[in-house]
Every structure is written in C-alpha cells, then in structure tokens.
C-alpha cells in the first residue's frame, strides 16, 4: 500500500498555515486543522465591553465532555440524554438544529457526571463518532444519516478502558486510527472494516498523534501503560515508552515537535520530554510541575501552556519551557476548565464558565478580556472556529460566543 | 453536662494500654525510620509523601497486590528521596525480609487487622488508616496486639488534629453552643441508578486472590480496583464505614469518649437498585443511603448519608451539626466551622479550615504527632483506642443495618443477643486466621 506517500505534502501545508493567519477556518477535528490545539484565525477579537460578549446562541446538547468541531456551517458535538448519546449538528449561524442522531448508551457516571467523552471528527462528507462503549458511527454531515456502524471493541476483541473510549478518531488517508486496545486499531474509513488491531489491553484516553517524518509512517498511541509508536500501515509496534499512571489514565495527547516528544499525565504522574530517534525514546528531562490530567498542553513558540494538576481539586494554568521543563509562570487561582490558543492569545474557559483571554507569553499571564458565558461546570476546552468561540458545560449547555471582527 | 457517663471500653485492655507508659526511645533528631508502606494506593501515597516531607523517613519497602502501583510508586519514592525501595506483593514476606521500624497500613479495610498485627509483631510502629477493622473483632484484635506491645499506633484520623477541628472543639466544649442535646453527622454525595458491570479477568498486574485475601473471593470487575473497594461490603463498609468514622470521632471527641447504649440503623439501595452478583456481572452492594441512630445517656447522635443528588437545601453536605441551646454549630470540612446563634441579634461565628492540598487533609500535623509519640513516648492524638472506638460505632451501625433491628451496646460487647454478637466477627476464607 502506498497511501501514505503524501505525508510531506501534509507537513508543508501545516507550515503554510502557520505562516499565513487566516481570517476564518473550520475547526473540523480534535485539536484543530493542524492538530496542535492552535487556531490560525485572525478574524476575531475579544473586545467585550463591560465584560459582555455577544452570545450568538445557546443550545442544549446533553451531559458529557465532548468538545465541538465545526465544518460546512455546522457545529458537531455529543451529549447524553435519557439512555442515549445524541450527536448534534447545530447550524453555526443561528444555533438551530440541523439534525440529531441517537444511539443507545448508558450515562456511566462512575466517578464523574458521565456521558460521552470523545469528540467527533469530520472528514469530507462524513462525521465519525466513537462511543465510550467502542462503537464507531459514520454519519452523513449533511443529513445525519447513518452510513455504517461498527463495534470496534468487539471486532478487535479488546477490553474497554475503565471510563470507556474517549479519543477522537483520527482520519489518515483511507483509514481511521482509533485509540482502542493496547496500541490502537485502524479501520477502513469507507466501511468501518477493521484493518489492524492490537492486543487486548486497556487503551489510554488520548487521541493518536502522527509521528512526523517517520519512515515508515507512524502514529503514537496512548495506551493504559505506555505511549506506543505504531506503523500506520500495519499496526506493527516500533517502540514503546512505558508510562504508568494511576487508573491507566493517560489522557493528554503526546506533543511531538521536531525530534522531541512531550508526555504528561495527571494523578501526580508528571511530565517528561524525550528525544526520538530510530530506537526507543531517550529521556531529556522529567518534571512533576506539569501534570495534564485530561487536557493536553499547547506548544507555542517554545513554551507549553497547560493545566497542571487534577481537575477535581483545581488545576493550575502554567507556562513551561519546552527545552528545560522549567516553569515560567503559574496561575494558581484561576480554576481553568480548558484552553485553546489563537492569534498568539490563550483562550481559557474557567471551570465556572468564564472566558479569559491573555497573550500567550512566557513573560506572564496578563488577561486582556474576560466574559462570563456559561452557567455550570466547564471541563471541556473552548473551540474557536470562524470567529466564534464554543463553550460547553458538563450538563450540556453549548454556548456560541460571536467574536467575529 | 451530667457527670454520670457511660464511657467506652472502661476496664478493658485498651484502657490499660492508654495509661501504661510506652517505652521512650532516645532518638537523634536526624533519626531516619526504616519505613514500609502496605497498600500503595492513592491514600497510602498521600501519607507516605507527608512522611517523606517530614524528613525522618527512609522508605525501604512498598507492598501492594498491584504491580503497577509498586512500579509507579517506587519510582516516585526514588524521585522524592533518592532511595529505591524494595517491592513486595505479600506483606508477610516483607516483614520477614525487612527490618521495619514504621509501617503505614493503607490497604482496603478487610486487610487492616492482619497487616497491622503483623507489623506490630515485627516490631514496627504503625500508622494505620481508618477504619481499624472490617468487623469489630478485628479492630479489637489490633487494640490487644498494641496493648501487648510498646509500639505506637496512630490511626489516620487527621480530623483529630486539624486546626479548625481543634478550635471548633474548644468552642463547643467551652459551651459556645450551649447545652447540646443532639448531633447530626452527614455526608451526602452524588449518585444514581447503578447498572451492573461485567465481570472480567483481573488485569495482569493484579493478584486478585491476594487482594481478596481473608474476604470472600468474588469475581473481579473494573469498578472494584483501583479505588472502588469501599462500595463492596466484603471489603469495606460503605460510606458509614468510611466518612462515618471521621464524624463519629468528632462526636466522641466532643463527648469525651462516651459510649452509646443502643444503635439502630436503616437504609438500602432504592436508587442504586438491588445488589447483583452473578458469574457474569455485578454491582456494588453498599447502601445508597443510610440513617444510624446512636442513643447516648444524655444526647442522641445520628448519621445520615445519601448518594442521590449531592447537595440539598442545606448550606453544606458534609460534617456534623451540634444542636445546642445557644444555636447550631456546624463542624465542616473545607468550609471550616460555623456557629449559627439562636439569638438573631448575635452574629454568626466562623473559622476557616486550614487544610493541605491536594485532597484537603491535615496529615502533616498527624504525622508529626506520630513521630513525636515514637520519640518522646507522648500519647498519639489518634491512638488505637480512639480509632477503635470511632470504628466500632460505625461498624455497629452497619451491624444493625444488616440485622434489620436495633442492638444494645455495653461499651465493649452486645449483651444477651447472640445473633447480633455473632456479627462482631466473620469467618475468614481459606487458611487466613481471624485475629484475636
């Protein structure tokens, strides 16, 4: 199979995007078009007079932690309502319902409020949804019609992790990479047919990340006990970095930049930076100062911006030097619930539903705008797309904040 | 308050232990205690970190039935102290091979007695998590073992020493709330209907047979381990056997360790649903709500917990209300203590908590008190008698719930009621021997 020879083109297009600020773009997948948690949009501002932003609309999407993705004028997310998970396609312009698609699911609120935890992925005319029970759905973006569904956990004959599947499907060429089993699985994106799978062990909760410039093309999967590099074509394991975390809760996507990989988990696990080469990763530094429990950090201009510590007891927003692991600053009283980055600014949604914007600057946290947008607990990262910021509460309020310039 | 009081365990070995002077160890200030942690889970590591931070701990061994926990925690101990502890899956082997001066016991409840008695017999001072037993007989056996030794036993009831608890108790004992006729203890949390979880093979890193140990062997499911044992009555005693111990202890502290003369408890699982245990699947079996009434000579205390919607109209969902003639006193957790005077012209009195994070506790103070007791022979603030009495009250509540009727208590036993007295102990599985 030669389906991955277009990889260099992808890299080039990322560079191009980074160099050219875009007025608006669809945030069609988890961590955005560039898979780095950073929006290239420039056509937005946070000029909120007296702390009042323009709330374009509010929608009710059900209990859960799924974040929003945006494509073709629609906003997609998942929530739990009365024995079902519901995929919502909401019209970006006015918040009206485009369509809804339901599948039976339990709330499964062990240790948290429950509901779906993964984010849909849009690829062309299709939106892919992975349920906590390991059921994969392919829906029509336009109509919500079910194109196919596959029980990937059953097909691959692998156990589910304690809190169920939570990674977003990653579309690569002809296939979807799913974080399920010891080191992921791949299915045909047209049929859902299993291409390869891995051993029957718990997966972690992070979304797979492509290993840049790898030969053969490879992706890194967070398993319950390690971060594993796997050949995309075959599922063959290239290397594995053992990374034990309480409850097998490896939930932050690895961050790979150049030949280096940053890993971080909560539950007092901490972080580490590794040098990647032909063989196993080599440790550069290790630190307890950045413990990403459920949100991955964002790497921007040589610094990591991330949430340190377990959410339940209150995480801290921190800036960490990529090269050394030193903490540049720490904002301890903000109670952040999630973050994104756009136009050189950090956009933080606090647990209490306040949006706070500050330049993403290693020199310090200097909020330039604040606005209270949501009522309820927010643990899902905000998403900026086409000049609008989407904020979601656990109980299922989705708020569209119109920030178009 | 009236002078005639029925006090706990008067004339028993525990009381004798309380007055006998432990041997005093002339220890240098920089003495490093060879320490073992038995049960290397979340809370055990919280204790161990405090022990390390206090500066007189050399961690020589970790024990757990989960090899992942051992690996993660040995790595952390190494990062914190530079030492590499030996790891064990069987506490008996650990005590046989290692010379341990201090043992921290943080296993699930059904292991506490066997672990602690083994530690005492190996010559270790013990910091044991509450409750001190899964059945009252186990807790009594620890009291007996401690009494027969000169070892210090501190029970992890950090609320005995937390600053707001100390000052709140002073306020209460000096009559700040007036005469108190009733106390309500409560811990409410979120919950709902429970669907059964499919049984599965235990994960490869877990020695499930040893996890169950003296308790009945049940099929494994992912909800039990890690972190779920409290809701399975074979291993623990639900919310009353967990949180209840802390708040019962506050009542015992306030009333100078009086003993109730009767206990009555009701509760069940109307919301969670019937407990299920089959070859294929299982649910938890702890009650989703419970009320336990403790009849003391001159006041009544009652416990309640519910796991439905969490917060209700009350201002707080955790703590104790002491209802007095001058007003109502709330001893809380993160919210400190607050006194609401009956006289509306008087203002509310409040004191903030002073907790350590994460997880909001006062282990630092409790550990320092433990080391002080080891070094000077002072009486630990939450010694085994204190822990045993609070544990006993919580387990009497569970006993009454299981029996479905009230029980009498004479401070030491259940008189003239063999059916109830039988539940003070349970049969152990296989070759494990119930301690005495």
Nearest CA in chain B to A158: B200
pLDDT tens figures, B252-274: 999 999 999 999 999 999 999 99
Q: Best interface-test mutation with A: which of B222, B226, B311, B360 has the largest number of A CBs within 10 A?
A: B222
Residue A372 has pLDDT above 80, yes or no: yes
What would the mean pLDDT of B278-300 be, rounded to a whole number?
Answer: 98
Selected residues 128-167 of chain A with any CB under 8 Å from a CB in chain B: 159, 162
What would the mean pLDDT of B180-209 be, rounded to a whole number?
Answer: 93
By the CB < 8 Å criterion, does B195 face chain A?
Answer: yes
What would the mean pLDDT of A70-77 be, rounded to a whole number?
Answer: 98
Residue B384 has pLDDT above 90, yes or no: yes
Q: Which is more confident, A14 or A207? A: A207
CA distances from B427 to B134, B233, B416 (A): 12, 14, 21
CATH class for domain B13-160+361-383?
A: alpha beta
Q: Pull the structure tokens for residue B247.
A: 């708040």
pLDDT-based confidence at residue B150 (cuts at 50, 70, 90): very high
Q: Residue A154's domain is classified under what CATH number?
A: 2.130.10.10
CATH number of the domain located at residue range(s) B163-204+217-356+392-422 in this protein = 3.30.360.10
Q: Mention every residue, 6+ apart, whose C-beta is less than 8 A from residue B68.
A: A225, A244, B205
Domains in chain A: how many in total?
Answer: 1
Instruction: Give the DSSP per-residue string, B278-345.
Output: -SSEE---S-SEEEEEEE-SS-EEEEEEEEEBS--SSS-SEEEEEEESSEEEEE-STT-EEEEESSTT
Domain positions in chain B: 13-160+361-383, 163-204+217-356+392-422
Q: Best interface-test mutation with B: which of A105, A108, A110 has the largest number of B CBs within 10 A?
A: A110
The pLDDT of residue B289: 98
Residue A12 has pLDDT above 80, yes or no: no
What would the mean pLDDT of B144-173 be, rounded to a whole number?
Answer: 98
The three-class DSSP label of residue B399 is helix
Domain residues for the domain of A81 are 7-402
By the CB < 8 Å criterion, does B311 face chain A?
Answer: no
The pLDDT of residue A293: 97
By the CB < 8 Å criterion, does B281 face chain A?
Answer: no
The pLDDT of residue A37: 97
**Contacts B360 to A, Cβ<8 Å:** 313
pLDDT-based confidence at residue B16 (cuts at 50, 70, 90): very low
- Chain B nearest-CA distance from A191, in A, is 29
- Chain B nearest-CA distance from A84, in A, is 14
Q: CA B361 from chain center: how many Å? A: 14
- The share of chain A scoring above pLDDT 70, in percent, equals 95
pLDDT tens figures, A47-59: 999 999 999 999 9
Residue A223 has pLDDT above 50, yes or no: yes
- Chain B nearest-CA distance from A94, in A, is 34
pLDDT-based confidence at residue A390 (cuts at 50, 70, 90): very high
Q: Mention every residue, 6+ apart, whose C-beta is less than 8 A from residue B379.
A: B18, B373
Same fold, B13-160+361-383 and B163-204+217-356+392-422: no
Residue B4 has pLDDT above 90, yes or no: no
pLDDT tens figures, A158-191: 999 989 999 999 999 999 999 999 999 999 999 9
Q: Best interface-test mutation with B: which of A157, A268, A313, A395 has the largest number of B CBs within 10 A?
A: A268
By the CB < 8 Å criterion, does B377 face chain A?
Answer: no
What would the mean pLDDT of A100-114 be, rounded to a whole number?
Answer: 92
**Contacts A159 to B, Cβ<8 Å:** 200
Helices (H), B122-156: 136-147
**Contacts A110 to B, Cβ<8 Å:** 223
Are A309 and B358 inside 8 Å of each other by CB?
A: yes
Q: Pull the structure tokens for residue A170.
A: 């990653």
Q: Mention every residue, 6+ apart, whose C-beta is less than 8 A from residue A141.
A: A71, A72, A74, A89, A122, A124, A125, A126, A127
What would the mean pLDDT of B428-434 be, rounded to a whole number?
Answer: 98
Instruction: Give the DSSP per-residue string, B229-294.
Output: GGG-TTT--TTTTTHHHHHHHHHHHHTTSB--SEEEEEEE-TTT-S--B-SSEE---S-SEEEEEE
- Chain A nearest-CA distance from B269, in A, is 16
When CB atoms are compared, the residue of A162, A202, A244 closest to B72 is A244
Residue B1 has pLDDT above 60, yes or no: no
> CB–CB of B139/B113 below 8 Å?
yes
Are B195 and A108 inside 8 Å of each other by CB?
A: yes
Task: Report the distance separating Cα B131 and Cα A260, nearest Å.
Answer: 47
> CB–CB of B153/B125 below 8 Å?
yes
Q: Which is more confident, A99 or A10? A: A99
Element of type H or E holding B391: helix B384-403
**Contacts B200 to A, Cβ<8 Å:** 159
Q: Which residue has the tokens 């899902």?
A: A380
Give me the helix-helix angle, B384-403 and B136-147, nearest 10°: 160
Nearest-5° Cα angle at A101, A97 to A107? 110
**Contacts B222 to A, Cβ<8 Å:** 162
pLDDT-based confidence at residue B312 (cuts at 50, 70, 90): confident
Residue B311 has pLDDT above 80, yes or no: no
Secondary structure (H, E, C), A235-300:
CCEEEEEECCCHHHCCCCCCEEECCEEEEEECCCCEEEEEECCCCCCEEEEEECCCCECCCCCEEE
pLDDT tens figures, A311-351: 998 999 999 999 999 999 999 999 999 999 999 999 999 99
pLDDT-based confidence at residue B8 (cuts at 50, 70, 90): low
pLDDT tens figures, A26-36: 999 999 999 99
The pLDDT of residue A297: 98
- Chain A nearest-CA distance from B253, in A, is 29
What would the mean pLDDT of B8-24 be, rounded to a whole number?
Answer: 45
Q: Pull the structure tokens for residue B33.
A: 């205690």
Element of type H or E holding A18: helix A7-19
Nearest CA in chain B to A245: B72
The pLDDT of residue B20: 46
pLDDT-based confidence at residue B28 (cuts at 50, 70, 90): low
**Contacts A310 to B, Cβ<8 Å:** 358
The pLDDT of residue A294: 96
pLDDT-based confidence at residue B13 (cuts at 50, 70, 90): very low
The pLDDT of residue A19: 55
**Contacts B310 to A, Cβ<8 Å:** none
What would the mean pLDDT of B176-183 be, rounded to a whole number?
Answer: 98
Q: Pull the structure tokens for residue A85.
A: 């998970």
**Whole-complex ipTM:** 0.79
Nearest CA in chain B to A226: B68
Nearest CA in chain A to B71: A244
The pLDDT of residue A23: 83
Q: Pull the structure tokens for residue A192.
A: 């859902």
pLDDT tens figures, A244-295: 998 999 999 999 999 999 999 999 899 999 999 888 999 999 999 999 999 9
- The share of chain A scoring above pLDDT 90, in percent, equals 89
Are B200 and A159 inside 8 Å of each other by CB?
A: yes
Residue A46 has pLDDT above 90, yes or no: yes
Are A245 and B192 inside 8 Å of each other by CB?
A: no
pLDDT tens figures, B201-255: 999 999 999 999 999 999 999 899 988 999 999 999 999 999 999 999 999 999 9
Instruction: Give the DSSP per-residue string, B152-190.
Output: -EEE--GGGT-HHHHHHHHHHHTTTT-SEEEEEEEEEEE
Nearest CA in chain B to A159: B200
When CB atoms are compared, the residue of B204, B222, B359 closest to A162 is B222
- Chain B nearest-CA distance from A261, in A, is 21
Task: Outline where DSSP puts E strands in B7-64.
Answer: 33-38, 57-63
When CB atoms are compared, the residue of B195, B203, B358 closest to A313 is B358
Q: Pull the structure tokens for residue B6.
A: 């029925």
């Amino acid at each position: 199979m030669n389906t991955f020879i277009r990889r260099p083109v992808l890299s080039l297009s990322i560079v191009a995007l980074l160099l050219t600020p875009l007025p608006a773009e669809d945030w069609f997948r988890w961590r955005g078009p560039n898979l780095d948690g950073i929006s290239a949009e420039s056509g937005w501002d946070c000029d909120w007079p007296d702390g009042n932003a323009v709330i374009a609309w509010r929608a009710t999407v059900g209990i859960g932690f799924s974040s929003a993705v945006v494509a073709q004028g629609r906003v997609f997310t998942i929530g739990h309502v009365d024995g079902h998970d519901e995929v919502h396609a909401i019209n970006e312009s006015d918040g009206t319902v485009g369509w809804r698609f339901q599948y039976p699911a339990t709330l499964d609120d062990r240790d948290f409020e429950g509901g779906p935890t993964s984010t849909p992925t849009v690829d062309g005319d299709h939106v892919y949804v992975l349920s906590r029970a390991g059921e994969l759905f392919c829906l029509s973006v336009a109509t919500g019609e079910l194109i196919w569904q596959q029980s990937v956990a059953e097909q691959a004959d692998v156990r589910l992790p304690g809190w169920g599947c939570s990674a977003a499907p990653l579309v690569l060429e002809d296939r979807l990479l799913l974080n399920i089993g010891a080191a992921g699985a791949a299915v045909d994106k047209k049929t859902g047919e299993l291409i390869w799978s891995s051993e029957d062990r718990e997966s972690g909760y992070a979304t797979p990340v492509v290993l840049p410039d790898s030969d053969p093309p490879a992706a890194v999967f967070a398993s319950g006990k390690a971060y594993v590099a796997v050949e995309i074509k075959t599922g063959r394991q290239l290397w594995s970095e053992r990374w034990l975390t309480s409850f097998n809760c490896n939930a932050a996507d690895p961050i790979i930049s150049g030949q280096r990989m940053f890993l971080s988990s909560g539950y007092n696990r901490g972080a580490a930076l590794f040098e990647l080469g032909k063989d196993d990763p080599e440790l550069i530094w290790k630190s307890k100062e950045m413990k990403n429990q459920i949100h991955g950090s964002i790497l921007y201009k040589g610094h990591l911006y991330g949430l340190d510590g377990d959410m339940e007891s209150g995480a801290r927003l921190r800036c960490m030097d990529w090269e050394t692991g030193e903490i540049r600053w720490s904002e301890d009283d903000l109670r952040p619930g999630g973050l994104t980055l756009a136009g050189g600014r950090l956009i933080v949604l606090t647990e209490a539903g306040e949006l706070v914007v500050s330049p993403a600057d290693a020199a310090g946290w200097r909020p330039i705008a604040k606005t209270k947008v949501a009522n309820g607990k927010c643990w899902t990262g905000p998403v900026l797309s086409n000049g609008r910021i989407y904020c979601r509460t656990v109980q299922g309020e989705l708020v569209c904040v119109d920030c178009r310039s | 308050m009236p002078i005639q009081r029925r006090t706990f365990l008067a004339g028993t070995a525990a009381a004798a232990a309380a007055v006998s002077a432990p041997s005093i160890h002339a220890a240098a200030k920089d003495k490093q205690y060879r320490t073992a942690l038995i049960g290397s889970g979340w809370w055990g590591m919280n204790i161990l970190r405090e022990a390390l931070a206090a500066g007189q701990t050399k961690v020589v061994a970790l024990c757990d039935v989960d090899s992942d926990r051992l690996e993660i925690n040995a790595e952390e101990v190494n990062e914190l102290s530079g030492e590499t502890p030996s790891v064990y899956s069987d506490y008996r082997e650990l005590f046989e091979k290692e010379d341990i001066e201090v043992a921290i016991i943080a296993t699930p409840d059904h292991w506490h007695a066997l672990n602690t008695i083994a530690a005492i017999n190996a010559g270790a001072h013990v910091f044991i998590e509450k409750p001190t037993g899964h059945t009252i007989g186990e807790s009594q056996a620890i009291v007996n073992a401690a009494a027969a030794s000169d070892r210090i036993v501190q029970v992890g009831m950090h609320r005995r020493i937390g600053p707001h608890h100390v000052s709140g108790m002073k306020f209460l004992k000096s009559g700040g709330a007036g005469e108190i006729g009733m106390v309500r203890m409560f811990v409410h949390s979120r919950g709902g209907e429970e669907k059964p979880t499919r049984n599965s093979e235990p994960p490869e890193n877990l020695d499930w047979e040893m996890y169950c140990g003296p308790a009945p062997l049940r099929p494994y499911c992912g909800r039990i381990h890690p972190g779920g044992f409290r809701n399975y009555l074979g291993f623990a005693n639900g919310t009353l056997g967990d949180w209840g111990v802390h708040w019962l202890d506050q009542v015992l502290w306030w009333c100078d360790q009086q003993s109730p003369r009767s206990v009555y408890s009701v509760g069940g699982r109307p919301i969670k649903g019937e407990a299920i245990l089959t070859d294929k699947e299982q649910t938890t079996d702890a009650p989703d709500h419970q009320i336990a009434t403790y009849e003391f000579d001159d006041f009544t205390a009652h416990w309640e917990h519910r796991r439905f919607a969490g917060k209700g109209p009350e201002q707080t969902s955790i703590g104790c209300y002491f209802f007095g003639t001058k007003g109502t006193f709330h001893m809380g957790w993160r919210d400190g203590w607050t006194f609401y005077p009956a006289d509306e012209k008087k203002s509310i009195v409040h004191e903030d908590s002073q907790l350590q994070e994460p997880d909001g506790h006062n282990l630092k103070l409790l550990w320092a008190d433990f080391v002080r007791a080891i070094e000077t022979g002072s009486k630990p603030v939450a010694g085994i008698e204190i822990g045993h009495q609070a544990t006993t009250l919580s387990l009497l509540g569970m006993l009454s719930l299981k029996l479905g009727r009230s029980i009498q208590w004479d401070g030491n036993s259940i008189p003239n009621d063999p059916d109830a007295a039988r539940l003070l102990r349970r049969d152990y599985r296989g070759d494990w021997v119930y301690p005495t």
